[in-house]
Amino acid sequence: MSEDKKPATNTLGLTKSDYKGGPSTMCKGCGHDRISEAIIQASYDLGLDATNILKMSGIGCSSKTPAYFLGNAMGLNSTHGRMPSFATGAHIANTSMTPIGVSGDGDSASIGMGQFVHILRRNPKMVYIIENNGVYGLTKGQFSATADRQSPSKRGAYPREESIDLCGLALELGATFVSRSFSGDKKQLVPLLKAALSFDGLSFIDVISPCVTFNNHEGSTKSYTHQKEMGVTFHDPYYVSPQDPIDIEYEQGELREVTLHDGSKLLLRKLEHDFDPTDRNASFDAIQRTRNKGEVLTGLIHIDVEARSMSSNSGLTDQPLSMLAQQELRPASGVLDRINDSFRI
């Protein structure tokens, strides 16, 4: 009996609470907290060593959340819209560390659009989460660039500008892991996060994350209700780590299987409709088709396991640059004499 009371542990012998952070200061019911929980769950399940994770964020309610998960990981809460550059620098200084970048729709789709676009092109190995609520939560409810034209504010005003579909944009920019999820759908978000952490490249997850205070009212297209009604998905994802057997139930021909770089697998069980997410054109088509119907497509939208990350392609030494010693950094004595001689007149 007393034996049973002991909390469960993962492969590292850690409990789930070892993956928690400090107490959240989000509004009660904020979608962002559900995402933190999903990160904790995914990390626990994977047996992740949090000291190999760098939590990176920009500015916004969403960007505050790294304080509320993985308390044993180092983190950096940077400036508004600049998480991508800080994450790139930190990761390249030590490629054995994987950044989990957390950003908001304001942080990435407006002020940080430049950095968002370019980090997708650069493709470092990291997880890039946008906690997308269609508003600026922290500055109290202004429209963000992902607010839909037909989605009114609490006061009944409508956005005057087109909204940006972050997944469509990421695809356009050649991103190799593009997904969308919903903070209220842990069954989908957790396996996506696990796959994202196993992927060698930038894995982008656009998570619809309702702001209960400023954008969860009737008519809002970023509300819990709207997402439950209009969210569609074509596959149920299951993550299987390299050492585990495949133990989900499925029928013949029902399963797509993607093998990730560390040997783990992402299994996609087909639902009513199907498409091949490794085919970029099919991915574009899936986004367009659902959007035209006013639906919000979630799930793994595109994956390309052939392309490799910036760090894998960089030709860098395996030893972290941050740990190189003087004798590896400063040229040997005599080299400067040679250089000086080459400038002799």
Ligand X SMILES: Cc1ncc(C[n+]2csc(CCOP(=O)(O)OP(=O)(O)O)c2C)c(N)n1
3-state secondary structure at position 236: strand
**Residue whose C-alpha is closest to residue 35's, from 200, 236, 180, 229:** 180
Instruction: Tell me which of 71, 76, 80, 312 binds ligand X, using CB under 6 A.
Output: 80
Compose the 206-245 pattern: x for residues touching ligand SF4 by CB under 6 A, - for all others: -----xxxx-------------------------------
Measured from the CB atom, the residue of 3 and 318 that comes closer to another protein is 318
| Distance of closest approach, residue 193 Cβ to another protein, in angstroms | 20
Pairing of strands 177-182, 296-303: antiparallel
Pairing of strands 135-136, 142-143: antiparallel
133 forms beta bridges with none
Residues 6+ apart with CB under 8 A from 213: 27, 30, 137, 141
Does the protein bind ligand SF4 through residue 133 (CB under 6 A)? yes
Listed ranges 13-21, 192-200, 205-213, 261-269: which one lies at the site for ligand SF4 (CB under 6 A): 205-213
Does the protein bind ligand X through residue 206 (CB under 6 A)? no
Please list every residue from 114 through 133 that binds Mg ion, using CB under 5 A.
133
Measured from the CB atom, the residue of 183 and 264 that comes closer to ligand X is 183
Choose the one of ligand X, another protein, ligand SF4, none that binds residue 212, judging by a C-beta under 5 to 8 angstroms depending on kind.
ligand SF4
Its sign, for the CA torsion 62, 17, 246, 252, is negative
Measured from the CB atom, the residue of 147 and 286 that comes closer to ligand X is 147
- Separation CA 35–CA 18 (nearest Å): 17
Compose the 114-153 pattern: x for residues touching ligand X by CB under 6 A, - for all others: -----------------x-x-xxxxx----x---------
Residues 6+ apart with CB under 8 A from 24: 33, 36, 65, 68
127 forms beta bridges with 100, 203
Q: Report which residue type is found at 110.
A: S
Please list every residue from 74 through 113 that binds another protein, using CB under 8 A.
74-79, 82, 84-94, 96-97
**Residue 32 tokens, joined:** 């962002």
- Separation CA 314–CA 88 (nearest Å): 13
Question: For residue 283, what are the CA distances in angstroms to 35, 170, 174, 182, 312?
Answer: 24, 11, 12, 18, 25
3-state secondary structure at position 76: strand
Measured from the CB atom, the residue of 153 and 264 that comes closer to ligand SF4 is 153
Taking CB atoms, the residue at the shortest distance from ligand X is 104
Is residue 209 within 8 Å of residue 133, measured between CB atoms? yes
Listed ranges 105-113, 114-122, 168-176, 188-196: which one lies at the site for ligand X (CB under 6 A): 105-113
Does the protein bind ligand X through residue 84 (CB under 6 A)? no
Is residue 148 within 8 Å of residue 163, measured between CB atoms? yes
Listed ranges 101-109, 151-159, 175-183, 329-337: which one lies at the site for ligand X (CB under 6 A): 101-109
3-state secondary structure at position 89: helix
Does the protein bind ligand SF4 through residue 27 (CB under 6 A)? yes
Measured from the CB atom, the residue of 112 and 168 that comes closer to another protein is 112
DSSP class of 155: T
Residues of the shown chain interacting with Mg ion in the complex, contacts defined by CB under 5 A: 104-106, 133
Residues of the shown chain interacting with another protein in the complex, contacts defined by CB under 8 A: 50-52, 54-56, 66-67, 71-79, 82, 84-94, 96-97, 114-115, 117-118, 122, 314-324, 326, 328-333, 335-336, 339-340, 343-345
Residues of the shown chain interacting with ligand SF4 in the complex, contacts defined by CB under 6 A: 26-27, 30, 32, 61, 133, 137, 211-214
